[in-house]
Amino acid sequence: MPVFKGAGCAIVTPMYDDGRVNYDKLAELLEYQIAGGTDAIIICGTTGESSTLTHGEHLKAIDFAIKTVNHRIPVIAGTGSNATDTAVMLSAEAASYGADAVLLVTPYYNKATQKGLIRHFTTVAESIPDTPVILYNVPSRTGCNIAPETAVYMAQNVKNIVGIKEASGNLSQIAKLMSLADGCIELYSGNDDQILPILSLGGLGVISVLSNVAPKETHDMVAKFHQGDIKGAADLQLKAIPLCSALFCEVNPIPVKAALNMMGFEVGPLRGPLTEMEDEHKAVLAKAMKDFGITLKEA
């Protein structure tokens, strides 16, 4: 049985104006996602600004999300690191809290060879043998790519490495991965503008930024595809393209936090080195949101 099937929200980490994590607002966002039909929550991923949370904040946010969601939908904890020992520590803690799975990003900055990736991910996975592991391939942010052969080797040889979030944007690579995998790996899109193409290659769903602002539509897009309504799913994908573009016109999660603030959620600022969205880009984002049918709070 897969970790989840459908649309998983890579949820933001809301903050007060002074930069502290706002757990009351996080609870509100979690309820909004569940009410909107979201199929899983991904806490403390890239969109959740995990790289600028302290280890204490990171773990508290994971624990809080698991307790708040309370088994209504799966909670997947982002516990990756460029240091293997740190990833082991975060993953073991998340597993002890009851995370349904962990999401492990490729080591960033110091990177790794393919042999190094196998050792890194295997070490982390074997430290939490009863918790499923989803690999996260996002070379544009980490400078490190998981080759299809490497992902398949790990899925075949490490019992709890079960899936991969593919955000390489390289559909040819993803097709090769699924050809080699022959069903041994669960595939999730990591790019909101490629949900349908990746579903067509055997993907189960998406780990989504778009879902933060459009949970129902993101869920419906995947559900329609799996129900055989390919045209309905494609219509939603194509309708979302301008909004997807606007949500990534500056580095994630700058635009999605701006979008949620425009909607009245008051998720607060970003932590440095991220800065607030440029005014001209905010205007583009606001238009894309309105065109998609999202109601904005009056200024």
User: Which listed residue (23, 60, 115, 165) is catalytic?
Assistant: 165
Contact 52, 272 (CB under 8 A): yes
**Annotated catalytic, 108?**
no
User: Which listed residue (25, 32, 136, 224) is catalytic?
Assistant: 136
**Annotated catalytic, 153?**
no
Q: Give the torsion sign (CA, 252, 230, 163, 5).
A: positive
**How far is 127 from 123, CA to CA, in rounded Å?**
6
Positions annotated as catalytic residues are 136, 165
